[in-house]
Amino acid sequence: MVQATLLTYGSKRYLWGSVIGAVALLLSYSYYAQTTIPSGSTVWGLVYGWMGLIAILVLMFLGIRKRWYFSRLGTLQGWTSAHVYLGFLTLLIIPMHAGFQFGWDVHTLAYVLLVVVALSGLVGLRIYLTVPMILTLHERGMLPETLEAEINQILKEMKQLAADKLGIFQHLYQEEVSRCSELKSQGWRILFTPIDPNAILAQRTHDLHKQLADVPATDQEGFSRFVGLVMRKTELEAYLAGQMRLKNELQAWLYVHVPVSIAMVAAVGIHLLAVLYY
């Protein structure tokens, strides 16, 4: 499974490394707290601070490693696994650097941003473990371009079928054209739109069945063909909407995680300047 491969990469080397690292940090902090008053200006506090800074730089390096296609510095999967565990270990290192003392200043802001990055990382982990696999299953059936081409072909058949029929055919055809345009124009709204193909098909079947009584007996056969096209189009649109939602979910996460990470690094830089020069 993808989940097992990522979180237990390399026989759980990064998992166990983070556990051992956390235990070692807690033991060292226990000794440190017993021998002096913890703060960021003590020797131990500075050591934890530099450890945190190095950890943050290593975490940010993942973005470079993803685009460094010919790098021999480990595999991308290994870097991602280490990124997950090191990120949460950093949440422990920084408070130890500050002696678990926080105030309303840029130093605390840097840590708050780090927490936001870590929490968004949890969301990203869920997405990374589930969405690509689901998206692959979706696209294994049909690519978005193929779906759109088939939907357009169905619309052409609908138009031909409705050309010499009663007004109800024309009305349904225009309704289907509007539904298609609405799907394409949803954009980010699709993230907040529930998509249940079975429920959508059931509702569409119910709506069309109610209109059957208004169709004369002479047009019943043509209406049945038209309904078949509508149901096929509805099924394809639900499929396409599912793909669009998954891709938007991936993009939306990046629009949160990456900018906040950059803001966090900027806040850390200001923190360093304030400490070193003021």
What single string gives the DSSP state of each residue in the chain? -HHHHHHTHHHHHHHHHHHHHHHHHHHHHHHHHHHS---TTSHHHHHHHHHHHHHHHHHHHHHHHHH-TT--SS-HHHHHHHHHHHHHHHHHHHHHHTTT---SSHHHHHHHHHHHHHHHHHHHHHHHHHHHHHHHHHHHH--HHHHHHHHHHHHHHHHHHHTTS-HHHHHHHHHHHHHHHHHHT-GGGGGGS---HHHHHHHHHHHHHHHGGGS-GGGHHHHHHHHHHHHHHHHHHHHHHHHHHHHHHHHHHHHHHHHHHHHHHHHHHHHHHHHHH-
pLDDT band at 5 (very low <50, low <70, confident <90, very high): low
Q: What pLDDT score does 278 carry?
A: 63
Q: Is pLDDT at 197 greater than 70 in this prediction?
A: no
Query: Are 6 and 81 in contact, with CB atoms under 8 Å apart?
Result: yes
Q: Is pLDDT at 31 greater than 70 in this prediction?
A: yes
Every domain of the chain and the residues it spans: 2-127+260-277, 141-250
Distances (CA, A) of 54 to 31, 71, 204: 23, 20, 57
Average pLDDT in the 194-207 region?
75
Q: Is pLDDT at 2 greater than 50 in this prediction?
A: no
What single string gives the DSSP state of each residue in 37-76? ---TTSHHHHHHHHHHHHHHHHHHHHHHHHH-TT--SS-H
Q: What pLDDT score does 150 carry?
A: 84
What pTM was estimated for this model as a whole?
0.66
Instruction: Pick the more confident residue, 82 or 73.
Output: 82
Q: What percent of the chain has pLDDT over 90?
A: 21
pLDDT for 39-79, tens place per residue? 888 999 999 999 999 999 888 887 666 666 566 676 767 77
**Pseudo-torsion of CA 260, 265, 270, 273, nearest 10°?**
180
pLDDT for 245-268, tens place per residue? 777 777 788 788 888 989 998 999
Query: Are 254 and 127 in contact, with CB atoms under 8 Å apart?
Result: no
Residue with tokens 């966090």: 264
Residue 104's φ and ψ, nearest 5 degrees, are: -90, 75
pLDDT for 122-146, tens place per residue? 887 777 777 655 555 455 556 666 7
Q: What pLDDT score does 158 carry?
A: 86
Nearest to residue 276, comparing CAs of 107, 142, 152?
107
pLDDT band at 241 (very low <50, low <70, confident <90, very high): confident
Query: Are 246 and 195 in contact, with CB atoms under 8 Å apart?
Result: no
Q: What percent of the chain has pLDDT over 70?
A: 82
pLDDT band at 22 (very low <50, low <70, confident <90, very high): very high
Instruction: Pick the more confident residue, 179 or 101.
Output: 101
Average pLDDT in the 213-221 region?
75
Q: What pLDDT score does 201 carry?
A: 77
Average pLDDT in the 109-130 region?
85
pLDDT band at 92 (very low <50, low <70, confident <90, very high): very high
pLDDT for 147-195, tens place per residue? 788 888 888 888 888 887 767 788 888 888 887 777 666 666 666 666 6
Lowest mean pLDDT among 82-91, 109-118, 155-164: 155-164
